[in-house]
């Protein structure tokens, strides 16, 4: 990231006692100067992406296996929500690519709503967002309507991200780190805007070539000039197209889609399983369509962290 990039920051929302841990990162770009750090005993400083609340204690493999067995077998467990939970767990355990929605999944808000709020257009835009995420209107119609309302300039977006830092959902940094450590490729597939997503991807270790998102167009003066309608995610059914492109390019055998919205549920197929996320907002239509519906990322982290073969109990005969 170059020093010409606009300043972005991620903040600790529910950890006032850790405010003193915030510090400027030496020799960092403008985009990273606000990141907070904390050091675990015996470890080098690591980014805290708010509010990363994991305990220093890490359960053993046996304990994770016990928790997973309980999740797969107990009908009363919240981890049992979904149409095909055991198979989704099994698919996640061996996935070579996992695709994440961004708004209300990787971050705990809707980026376009944040932008609209800063420009005094919040209620009008939020109503369109709700309709789009619930599947009540075609995504391309909602995208065009919202952008026509706010018409953001490049400087509007830079100022928005500086004044209102985007907030990562609790646990998502740990989850993506676990996937990377296992060698699984992570993609961000979003109906949001690339300009707002790239700084988050940088912190999560996701390269720009693994971002599928919308591109806002600006004229020579930096004023709003529309959006790139050739982006797969700019229209209804765009996420299945994006995942088809990913699979065709790289030949992944097992691909998972994780997200909170109706457009994410559309991505199965080509995704082998759709994991609905309700940790920020629960959309009933999404919960009903999800292979597995989770309200936090802990159970997913447990599955990913198990050694090869440790998830066999979660595999069904429906491969």
Task: Enumerate the active-site residues.
Answer: 101, 103
Confirm if 199 and 49 have CB atoms less than 8 A apart. no
DSSP 152-209: --HHHHHHHHHHS---BPTTHHHHHHHHHHHT-EEEEEEEEEHHHHHHHHHHHT--GG
* Residues contacting 300, CB < 8 A, separation 6+: 92, 175, 258, 275, 294
Stated as kind and residue range, the H or E segment containing 292 is strand 292-294
Confirm if 85 and 274 have CB atoms less than 8 A apart. no
Stated as kind and residue range, the H or E segment containing 216 is strand 216-218
DSSP 93-146: HH-SEEEE--TTTTBSS-HHHHHHHHTT-HHHHHHHHHHHHTTSS-HHHHHHHH
For 220: left if phi > 0, alpha if psi spans -120 to 50, otherwise beta; the answer is alpha
Confirm if 289 and 271 have CB atoms less than 8 A apart. no
Of 97, 108, 301, give the one whose Cα is nearest residue 212. 97
Confirm if 152 and 216 have CB atoms less than 8 A apart. yes
């Amino acid at each position: 990231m170059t020093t010409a990039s606009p300043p972005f920051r991620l903040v600790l929302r529910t950890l006032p006692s850790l405010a003193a841990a915030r510090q400027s990162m030496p020799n960092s770009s403008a985009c990273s100067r606000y990141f907070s750090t904390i050091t675990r005993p015996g470890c080098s400083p690591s980014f805290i992406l708010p509010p990363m609340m994991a305990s220093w204690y890490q359960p053993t493999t046996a304990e994770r296996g016990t928790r997973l067995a309980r999740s797969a077998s107990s009908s009363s467990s919240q981890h049992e929500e979904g149409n095909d939970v055991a198979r989704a767990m099994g698919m996640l355990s061996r996935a070579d690519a996992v695709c994440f929605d961004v708004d209300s999944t990787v971050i705990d808000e809707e980026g376009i709503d944040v932008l609209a709020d800063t420009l005094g257009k919040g209620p009008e835009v939020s109503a369109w967002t709700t309709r789009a995420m619930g599947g009540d209107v075609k995504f391309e119609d909602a995208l065009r309507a919202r952008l026509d309302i706010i018409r953001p300039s490049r400087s509007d977006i830079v100022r928005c991200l500086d004044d209102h830092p985007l907030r990562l959902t609790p646990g998502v940094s740990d989850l993506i780190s676990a996937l990377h450590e296992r060698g699984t490729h992570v993609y961000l597939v979003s109906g949001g805007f690339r300009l707002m997503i790239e700084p988050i991807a940088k912190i999560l270790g996701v390269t720009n070539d693994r971002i599928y998102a919308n591109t806002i167009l600006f004229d020579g003066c930096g004023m709003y000039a529309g959006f790139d309608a050739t982006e797969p995610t700019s229209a209804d059914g765009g996420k299945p197209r994006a995942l088809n492109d990913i699979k065709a390019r790289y030949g992944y055998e097992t691909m998972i889609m994780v997200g909170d919205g109706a457009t994410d549920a559309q991505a199965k197929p080509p995704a082998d399983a759709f994991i609905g996320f309700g940790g920020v907002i629960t959309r009933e239509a999404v919960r009903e369509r999800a292979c597995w519906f989770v309200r936090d990322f802990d159970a997913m982290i447990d599955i990913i962290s198990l050694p090869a073969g440790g998830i066999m109990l979660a595999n069904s005969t429906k491969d």
